[in-house]
A and B are shown apart, each in its own frame.
Chain A
Amino acid sequence: MAELLQFVSSGLTVGAIYALVALGFTLIYKASDIINFAQGEFVMLGGMTTVFMTLAGVPLPLAASIAIVATTAIGVALHRFAIEPARGASAVSLIMITIGASIFLRGTAQIVFDRRFHSLPPLLGADPIHFGGAAILPQSLVVLASATVIVTLLWLFIDRTLLGKAVLATAANRLAARLIGIDTRRIVEFSFAISAAIGAIAGILITPIALTSYDVGTLLALKGFAAAMLGGIGSALGAVVGGLLIGMIEAFAAGYLSSNYKDAVAFLIILVVLIFIPQGLFGRAKIERV
């Protein structure tokens, strides 16, 4: 029982991070049909910038804020200088551009920062909370609480604000959105900004638990991508559920099978899901129209 609880708590923590990455994928995909493989780099940039700011003596809250702003700016730049000029390119070309961007950001990070692993002090101290025989890190609670807040805010924003409705309209039908006067180009740019910010926050939150380095982005992006697919790409609810599920599956696989194969189990499950319910858990099956 204690073991189970332990796995659930660590699975949910990592899962929350995957969920945030998946949410970033979903936002950009909804607005533009682009799969942004540089999503994981946003997470890395958030963590690494914060680490190096604090090393330079900047207080943690300020360092974190600067990191979020800087990552958001990079997200906007990515859209303006790499995605926007390639408008109308094929899906594969666009995927390659974002992969190129991810390699570029990673390469730049290893020059600007370094190639070592770094950590941050946890927000609520490092003493584990004992609960039902399991030791739960306070930072886990911070991660879960923050993820909940972000998801709620995002939902409120989409549901309650005019800009949010414009994002929805763009997602539903780009041409129609443009016809009623929505600047869809700006909406896409905005989705890149928000995705980058969410990614950066995820990066800052997870660093005290999982460490960060210039190359953590790739695997995070893959897991986040997988989570988005598992949930049904384009579904925000699916992204969150998919992320949590993959986090849990991984934690249980690592605990009960072998920690070497925890990544394998995650990808194996994704293959199975894709084969049997290709539209994902919350996606809708497409009807082919001819």
Chain B
Amino acid sequence: MRKIIDMRLLPVLAITAIVVVLPYFFPSAYYYRIGALVLIFALAVVGLNLLMGFAGQVSLGHAGFLGIGAYSVAIGPGYFGAPSWLCLFVGAMLSGVVAFLVGRPILRLKGHYLAVATLGFGLLVAIVLTNEAGFTGGPDGMSVPKLVLFGWSARGADAWYWIAGATFIGGFLLALNLMQSPTGRALQAIHDSEIAALVLGVDVARKKLTIFTISAMYASVAGSYLALFNGHITPDVAGFLRSIELVAMVVLGGMGSIVGSLVGAVVLVVLPQALTVFHEYEQALLGLIVMVFMIFLRRGIVPSLATKFAGWRK
């Protein structure tokens, strides 16, 4: 019995160790910044991976929830004087409610239809954020007040590295827990055969809605962190490209691999930073990388490597 629990927590412990030890190898504060960004995105990607990798439902509009979370901590304190942490919480709830309401009708759709419906939803959020300039500052965005907790103000990349790290590990653990529960099994079943899940009594529509709502809340928290960390936010956070970036992270790291979510975030956050040297060529190279990875490691980095590794051991 105890052994099973230890095995279950192994990936969490491994990731925790990496997050804790890694800063000792950071040559400069700049690396904390990259690390924090990776962890923030990884949090959103874990949520999206629950939806895509486990339940098999694609969302091309998840940045919409990133946007709701981000603007909650920007608008809430600015206009209503609410503390940032409360706004973060309210933002996550709001994202959950929006996901629940939007998800009810559109999660009945399948494949390409679901893709375009979620895409449309994400674009709508971005359009609203761009046009309601009175609240959001329009295309130029708005500044975000610092997060203050018990009189301590979270500033600096190192502080955010630890906040994002702790939250990511928490999110990772929750995702892992969920996967090893009745709901988790039902979701994986839906991925493989919706009809078989149905005749076994799985309320497919409700399960999809549940996971869509949860994954939206993950994205929302990540969005709030992103805004608080950067101190400034623009509607781009909810844009189509951001949504695509999130999906690319899921697919690159590996659908259904929670560890893969982190790997996907590392690749797509670190590479563009490394590529800024090439500046002009950044976009072209990014596109090329996505294509090459998808063609040659189509199951994603972590599952592909795991298979290779298993092959060697034999």
Chain A residues in the interface with B (C-beta under 8 A): 35, 82, 85-86, 89-93, 95-97, 99-108, 110-111, 218, 222, 225-226, 229, 233, 258, 260-261, 263-264, 267-268, 270-271, 274-275, 278, 288, 290
Contacts and interface: CB of A to CB of B under 8 A. Distances in A.
A96 B120 contact: no
A186 B282 CA distance: 33
B287 A97 contact: no
Give chain B's interface secondary structure class: helix
Nearest to A90: B298
A226 B120 contact: yes
Contact of B290 (A99, A110, A226, A275): A99
B205 interface: no
A82 to B, nearest CB: 5
B280 interface: yes
Interface string B34-74: 00000000000000000010000010000000000000000
B123 A222 contact: yes
Given A226-B120, A229-B113, A270-B120, A264 B288 contact: no
Given A218-B240, A275-B108, 19 more contacts: A86-B295, A92-B247, A93-B251, A97-B291, A100-B288, A100-B291, A101-B291, A107-B283, A107-B287, A111-B281, A226-B120, A229-B113, A260-B131, A263-B127, A264-B123, A264-B124, A268-B124, A270-B120, A278-B113
B123 A89 contact: no
10 contacts: A89-B295, A96-B294, A104-B286, A104-B288, A108-B284, A222-B240, A264-B127, A274-B116, A274-B117, A275-B109
Contacts of A233: 112-113
Interface string B253-287: 00100000000000000000000000011111111
B127 A107 contact: no
Contacts of B241: 218
A42 to B, nearest CB: 15
Contacts, number: 130
B124 A106 contact: no
Given A93-B251, A271-B117, A104 B287 contact: yes
A271 B61 CA distance: 13
Contact of A92 (B58, B123, B195, B291): B58
Contacts of A93: 251, 294, 298
A96 B60 CA distance: 11
B121 interface: yes
Contacts of A95: 115
B294 A100 contact: yes
Interface in B107-152: 108-109, 111-113, 115-117, 119-121, 123-124, 127-128, 130-131
A264 B283 contact: no
B159 interface: no
A275 B105 contact: yes
B169 interface: no
